[in-house]
Amino acid sequence: MSEEPEVLQPKAGPALKKKPQSTFSRVARYTFVRALTLLLTVIVGVFLTILIANMGGYLDEIRRGTIQETYTQAAILNPAIKNLSPEERQAWIDENVQLAYKRYGLDKPFMVRTLRFLTDALTLNLGRSQNMSSDTGSRQVRLIILERIPPTLILFGTVGFILFFVELFFALFLSRRYGSVLDKVIVTLAPMSAAPGWFYGIFLILIFAALLKVLPFGGMVDAPPPPRWSLEYFLSLLEHMILPTIAIAANQVIISTYSWRTFFMIYSSEDYVEMAKAKGLTSRNIERRYVLRPTLPTIVTTFAFFIIGVWTGAPIFETVFNWPGLGRQIFQAVGLFDIPVIVGETVIFSYLLAITLFLLDFIYALVDPRVKVGGQGGAQA
Amino acid sequence: MSRNRFMLVLGVLVVASMILSACGGGETPVATPVATEEPTPPPVTRNGAWVDRIVFTGIDQAEAAVTQLQAGEIDIYAYGVTDADVFATVKADPNLAYTTAFGSYTEMTLNQAGPEFQDGRLNPFYSAKIREAMNWLMDRDYIAQEIYGGLAIPKYTSLNSNFADYARYVDTCRALEAKYAYDPAKANEIITAEMTALGAELVDGKWNYKGAPVTLTGIIRVEDERSEIGEYMAAQLESVGFTVDRQLKTMSEASPIWVRSDPTEGQWNFYTGGWITTAVSRDDATNFGFFYTNLGSGAPLWQSYVNDPAFHNEEGTGVADRLWVNDFTSMEERGELFAQALELANMESQRVWLVDQISFSPQSANLEVTYDLAGGVAAAQIYPYTIRFKGQEGGTIRWAQPAVLGDPWNPIGGSNWVYDTSVYRATTDYAAIADPYTGLAWPQRIESATITAQTGLPIAKTLDWVNLEFADEIAVPADAWADWDATTQTFIPAGDGVTALLKSTVVYEADLFDKMTWHDGSPLSIGDFVMAMIMNFDPAKPESAIYDEAQVPSLEAFMSYFKGVKIVSTDPLTIETYVDFYYLDAEANVWAWYPNYSYGTASWHALTLGIQAEADGTLAFTADKAEANSVEWMSYISGPSLEILEGYLAADVAAPIIPYAPTLGQYVTAEEAAARFANLQAWYDAHHHLWVGTGPFYLESVFPIEGSVTLARNENFPDPADKWARFAAPKLAVVDVTGPASVTIGTDATFDIFVTYEDAPYPQAEISSVAFLLFDATGNLVAKGEATAIADGQYQVVLPTTGLAAGSNKLEVAVTSVVVSIPSFGAYEFVTTAP
């Protein structure tokens, strides 16, 4: 007698075969959901920025107090106003205070202004600043930001770009020479990066500018600057970039190299790499096909974040080197409570971040065949 | 071998040199006498500025600037630095020098509401006696020396110890300083008595009221030394039994509390106040009304002030009220009011004055520059005329300041940042220029001036270039321009029967329009003056094409005292101005019209471009209007504005216009207009900006993003470079007092006073007063008076000692000068013995 073994699993009903989703609809659906999610995130982020920058509305009180104090002081600084009758002088103060309220929008409710800020920001209508002027004297937030992008890109973009690839290939080089003297030097010097770039900057300035007097203290070019677009201008720019570049490098190169080198070493010890070595492939081929390729998503991600990271600048570093970058500008905007500029810089960063994240999903799929946009299970973006 | 050759060559060289020296010269050197007198310097032939260029750059930090000064990278850091460590570095470096300024002052602002706040807490500062006791509780010397590192002077009254009124009433001020010297025991005694009277009790060394500790909330500013001062205040208050809640805040955070909150709410008890003056003040009479009474401001704090009626009352008969409206007929009467007001103000003590802060501006030791006693180098009108490298003509000065190019430059409503004004000031010339050491005006483009004041007004003159007259009635000519009709673009005459308190008649230099040119080469003309008069009114008139409500408050204030202006003659230019407003100094009452506006200088033709742009709504002069119309805030030097202004310039070159033609057209010809716009176009093509002045420097280049501005010497400037050389340094007197060390009571004692400047006697003509004060052994002022002049730089005091107690006495001498507002002091101690 034999019995049928007990089936512990529920009997399968009629198979509900799922209709395979077309690649287009899968990608389209994913794209839509991802874009919507990112947009909502941006909206929430910008809204929170506006609320925080306005201290939840308390900034209005601060502004009113500051305006009142400013015009009270102005009244005694101006002899013609100071010596008016009390009524006339108070009228002068009141009128100016009211004009200032109007200028800052304090004559409108806070929430109305907040929603207007939000709408304008999201539509990239960055509007006009409240206190700051651009370097050329414009109050358009767009220009305030745009004018500082070239100096920021020239220093942080160029230097960062070069250093990124130097670090990458140097790390790759080191990963193949684990335990070598050079490798040990890098490992030993890695803690150097604990000190920020501006810290090195101060010492570099003291040594090369104050003591040896061979390099400039700071600034973007000599003062007075040579004619723009001339060779002298370019050379002066290069000269002024030497110390900042060294400071950035001192802070960044070793730790980044160390980090990448460790990262590459992990991949270099994978079985398929060992197999490739055993097969007698050249080092160059191993690096390119078996190490670099699987690590590309990470490299691309790091590179993408480096690019958008340039946007935030480095306020202290720029101050030390007297560099007219975005970081100092943001710092100044925060100090002046210039909400439109703060919001403008934040919303652009938010959009850049969201777009980068969005694009990265697709880039991953392009550079790594294991990744499928909107795919179910396994590696997916 | 080679050694032999070397010796041969060497030998030949030695012999040759001996022969040559024997043959050379021919004349036996003769000892020439060493010159014992300095050679007379050759006459200065250079006109305009001493230097060729000034390059402005920004450096945020004073420490970094001093490092660059030491490295020779910059020549001056034109900013008021207050860091004592940096000051020590500068003083220790022989290659560096510095100038000082005294514009900032700090105080302890007290909340007078009470005796209880709305929630029932006791406010000790309701009591005037406790407020006054704070004067004895605060050790001003400690604050000046320890907190400010010596960069401050103890301050006991609202008068700045470096300005004119302090010098005028130095005897009263010094007596008050002696009275309110640091005495914590006395403060404690008064506070104990008053607190007890208010119903508080001392429990375990802490004041309690209704069972709870008396907690004082201190709003302490954190941006500067006031954070330490606040801590010190708190510690001193704790030392006499108060509990202190320290609230550390920035200006922005503190303002809503101390300025705007209702004092009766008790959000604060004391605040670390700070004030600033940017020019030497000649008249501080309104300080009492401003700082201690509700006349000062409509803000809740001021409106909460309750005063002794003798100080301030609603009828306006208190001493502060009378000083507020200059209700006195002579300087002697004013002096009496000041003496009372100073005394009463300290008894009121809504503010307890602590120190006059000294800031310094470091520079290279080989640089010479005039500085304003209040505003420093950057605020001195006169610096562009005097700045130079010592003993040198030409060169480029590298001028650093915390920033450059803060806001757009336009003359009507542009940047007011000191970092901008310090630059564009050098492109400006003036009809009268402010004395950096006294605040008095000196003529720059004026031949003569006459002030006619209504009889009885307490106006006096100091300098000879002004004539001062008095008249019982000053009639305003019926055809004087009193207002502006923006519709017809004509001035409105004053009409008949109008009178004024004061008339200023200014006769300009006869060759003014021949020698003065704008930087673009256009000659200065009467049109520029008329345009300045028009622009005083037009932007604030609703009918104007460039109406701007932001301009209205200023015009309303102006119209409250302006009665009319009349151009009496154009050759030489003579202008009469009639006003119901006056200053005590005749020099300050000179209405020196010149095409300078609130925010810089401008010719009528350069201004026309801006007027056209504003009328078309493409740009705006003021930030307010730019904001309201969502257009660019006009800049004459950079940015998107330039493109727009350039368009108007091109159009005006093609078809020259005269703005406000019904009025300006009477003073400007079509030919002049055409030539001027052509000149401006050529200027723009060469320099790429439209900032054109008449000053000793012109704006050569602007690099906004790189943060650099360059000014170059205006070679057409007519004055010799040494015109204002006498202002190279303030003539601060040195006072030395000598006399007997011991005096028998009852005999006369004679003391000699020597007043010098750079070891030479200080000319008597430049001394306005040598006052003496005698303090007895207990520090009480027992005698005061004026010393007798013996000769230049020598004075004498003969003191009858009858009535003095035996002991150590101090004779203090205060010297006030005509040429510098800072008084100088000397002291001598002597012993009186019983006969």
Q: B619 falls in which pLDDT band (50, 70, 90)? A: very high
Q: Which among A78, A103, A132, A198 is the top mutation candidate for probing chain B, defined by the most B β-carbons within 10 Å of its own β-carbon?
A: A103
Q: B636 falls in which pLDDT band (50, 70, 90)? A: very high
CA distance A331 to chain B (A): 13
Residue at which a domain ends, from A143, A167, A190 = A143
Answer whether A72 sits within 8 Å of B252, measured CB to CB: no
pLDDT score recorded for residue B231: 94
Percent of chain B with pLDDT over 70: 95
Helix (H, G, I), strand (E, B) or coil at A344: helix
pLDDT score recorded for residue A16: 52
Range B782-789 average pLDDT: 88
- Does residue A220 lie in a domain region? yes
Q: Alpha-carbon distance B547 to B486, whole Å?
A: 9
Report if pTM > 0.80.
yes
Question: B223 at the A interface (CB within 8 A)?
Answer: no
Residue range(s) defining the domain that contains residue A252: 149-324
Q: Which residue of A has its CA nearest to B700?
A: A224
pLDDT score recorded for residue A10: 47
Q: Which residue has the higher pLDDT, B35 or A25?
A: A25
Longest dimension (CA), chain A: 121
pLDDT score recorded for residue B302: 84
How buried is residue A31: exposed, middle or buried, by Cβ count under 10 Å (0-12/13-18/19+)? middle
Range B160-172 average pLDDT: 83
The string of pLDDT tens digits covering residues B315-369 is: 888 999 888 878 888 888 999 999 999 999 999 999 999 999 988 999 999 999 9
pLDDT score recorded for residue A124: 80
Are residues A202 and A164 part of one domain? Answer: yes
Q: Alpha-carbon distance A379 to A368, whole Å?
A: 10
Are residues A200 and A282 part of one domain? Answer: yes
Spatial CA neighbour of B208 closest among B245, B244, B241, B246: B241
Q: Which among A54, A63, A202, A217 is the top mutation candidate for probing chain B, defined by the most B β-carbons within 10 Å of its own β-carbon?
A: A217
Q: Which among A92, A97, A136 is the top mutation candidate for probing chain B, defined by the most B β-carbons within 10 Å of its own β-carbon?
A: A136
Question: Could you say which residues from 481 to 510 on chain B have a Cβ atom under 8 Å away from some Cβ of chain A?
Answer: none
Are residues A169 and A318 part of one domain? Answer: yes
Is A12's pLDDT higher than 70?
Answer: no
Range B201-213 average pLDDT: 92
Query: Within 13 Å, how many C-alpha atoms sit on residue B424's CB side?
Result: 31
- Does residue A371 lie in a domain region? no
Answer whether A136 sits within 8 Å of B283, measured CB to CB: no
In this structure, CATH architecture of domain B104-290+349-357: Roll (3.10)
Give the β-pairing of B600-601 and B824-833.
unpaired
Answer whether B706 sits within 8 Å of A221, measured CB to CB: yes
Question: Could you say which residues from 171 to 190 on chain B have a Cβ atom under 8 Å away from some Cβ of chain A?
Answer: none
Range B619-640 average pLDDT: 90
Helix (H, G, I), strand (E, B) or coil at A250: helix
Exposure pattern of A145-176 as b/e (b: 16+ CB <10 Å)? bebbeebbbbbbbebbeebbeebbebbbbbbb
If one counts the domains in chain A, the total is 2
Question: Tokens 């090369």, residue?
Answer: A208
Homologous superfamily, domain B734-833: Macroglobulin (MG2) domain (2.60.40.1930)
Of A82, A102, A210, the CB nearest to B71: A210
Question: Could you say which residues from 703 to 722 on chain B have a Cβ atom under 8 Å away from some Cβ of chain A?
Answer: 703-708, 710
Q: What is the mean pLDDT of chain B?
A: 89
Is B285's pLDDT higher than 70?
Answer: yes
Answer whether B64 sits within 8 Å of A217, measured CB to CB: yes
Of B73, B561, B632, the CB nearest to A217: B73
Q: Which residue has the higher pLDDT, B771 or A69?
A: B771
Give the β-pairing of B446-454 and B466-471.
parallel
Spatial CA neighbour of A171 closest among A89, A256, A235: A256
Are residues A306 and A185 part of one domain? Answer: yes
Q: Which residues of B touch A335 (CB under 8 A)?
A: none
pLDDT score recorded for residue B444: 95
pLDDT score recorded for residue B39: 54
Question: B255 at the A interface (CB within 8 A)?
Answer: yes
Are residues A172 and A115 part of one domain? Answer: no
On whether the CB atoms of residues B789 and B191 are closer than 8 A, the answer is no
Residue at which a domain ends, from A118, A143, A168 = A143
pLDDT score recorded for residue B603: 97
Answer whether B71 sits within 8 Å of A322, measured CB to CB: no
Answer whether A73 sits within 8 Å of B276, measured CB to CB: yes
Answer whether B556 sits within 8 Å of A68, measured CB to CB: no
Answer whether B71 sits within 8 Å of A102, measured CB to CB: no
Q: Which residues of A touch B286 (CB under 8 A)?
A: 76, 82-83
CA distance A110 to chain B (A): 17
Are residues A249 and A116 part of one domain? Answer: no
The string of pLDDT tens digits covering residues B554-577 is: 788 788 889 999 999 999 999 999
Question: B300 at the A interface (CB within 8 A)?
Answer: no
Is B186's pLDDT higher than 90?
Answer: yes
Range B240-264 average pLDDT: 85
* Paired tokens of A27: 């990608």
Answer whether A80 sits within 8 Å of B67, measured CB to CB: no
DSSP letter, residue B692: -
Answer whether B641 sits within 8 Å of A137, measured CB to CB: yes
The string of pLDDT tens digits covering residues B657-689 is: 999 999 999 999 999 999 999 999 999 999 999
Q: Which residues of A touch B552 (CB under 8 A)?
A: 95
Residue at which a domain ends, from A278, A309, A324 = A324
Q: Which residue of A has its CA nearest to B57?
A: A223
Q: What is the mean pLDDT of chain A?
A: 82
Q: Which residues of A touch B638 (CB under 8 A)?
A: 135-137
Are residues A315 and A209 part of one domain? Answer: yes
pLDDT score recorded for residue B423: 94
Answer whether A219 sits within 8 Å of B707, measured CB to CB: yes
Range B263-268 average pLDDT: 91
Answer whether B251 sits within 8 Å of A66, measured CB to CB: yes
Are residues A281 and A199 part of one domain? Answer: yes
Question: B344 at the A interface (CB within 8 A)?
Answer: no
Are residues A309 and A204 part of one domain? Answer: yes
Q: Which residue has the higher pLDDT, B289 or B656?
A: B656
Answer whether B64 sits within 8 Å of A75, measured CB to CB: no
Q: Which residue of A has its CA nearest to B60?
A: A319
Question: B201 at the A interface (CB within 8 A)?
Answer: no
- Which residue type occupies B687? H
Q: Which among B77, B96, B159, B255 is the top mutation candidate for probing chain A, defined by the most A β-carbons within 10 Å of its own β-carbon?
A: B255
The string of pLDDT tens digits covering residues A206-248 is: 999 999 989 999 999 998 899 888 899 999 999 999 999 999 9
Q: B121 falls in which pLDDT band (50, 70, 90)? A: very high
Range B178-189 average pLDDT: 92
* Paired tokens of B555: 């015009």
pLDDT score recorded for residue A76: 67
Please state which of the ranges B18-27, B211-220, B528-537, B685-694 shows the lowest mean pLDDT. B18-27
Of A102, A140, A147, the CB nearest to B705: A147
- Which residue type occupies B289? G
Q: Where are the beta strands (DSSP E) in B402-480?
A: 432-434, 441-443, 446-454, 466-471, 474-475
pLDDT score recorded for residue A20: 63
Of A82, A128, A223, the CB nearest to B627: A128
The string of pLDDT tens digits covering residues B521-563 is: 999 999 999 999 999 999 999 999 999 887 887 788 788 889 9
Answer whether A73 sits within 8 Å of B275, measured CB to CB: yes
Here the ipTM equals: 0.78
Whether B104-290+349-357 and B734-833 share one fold: the answer is: no
Q: Which residue of B has its CA nearest to A323?
A: B706
Q: A377 falls in which pLDDT band (50, 70, 90)? A: very low
Q: Which among A61, A76, A87, A148 is the top mutation candidate for probing chain B, defined by the most B β-carbons within 10 Å of its own β-carbon?
A: A76
Helix (H, G, I), strand (E, B) or coil at B826: strand
Any idea where the domains of chain B sit in the sequence?
Answer: 53-101+363-400, 104-290+349-357, 431-689, 734-833
Query: Within 13 Å, how many C-alpha atoms sit on residue B829's CB side?
Result: 4
Answer whether A133 sits within 8 Å of B260, measured CB to CB: no
Q: Which residues of A touch B316 (CB under 8 A)?
A: none
CA distance A50 to chain B (A): 18
Q: B255 falls in which pLDDT band (50, 70, 90)? A: confident
CA distance A303 to chain B (A): 28
Are residues A290 and A314 part of one domain? Answer: yes
Answer whether A136 sits within 8 Å of B583, measured CB to CB: no
Q: B31 falls in which pLDDT band (50, 70, 90)? A: very low
Of A86, A92, A128, the CB nearest to B295: A86
Q: Which residues of A touch B159 (CB under 8 A)?
A: none
Q: Which residues of A touch B298 (CB under 8 A)?
A: 90, 93-94
Q: A14 falls in which pLDDT band (50, 70, 90)? A: low
Answer whether A209 sits within 8 Å of B58, measured CB to CB: no
Inter-helix orientation angle B604-615/B670-687, to 10°: 80
Are residues A166 and A116 part of one domain? Answer: no
Answer whether A223 sits within 8 Å of B71, measured CB to CB: no
pLDDT score recorded for residue A3: 44
Q: Alpha-carbon distance A163 to A167, whole Å?
A: 6
Range B306-316 average pLDDT: 88
Are residues A220 and A87 part of one domain? Answer: no
Answer whether B408 sits within 8 Å of A135, measured CB to CB: no
Answer whether A95 sits within 8 Å of B553, measured CB to CB: yes
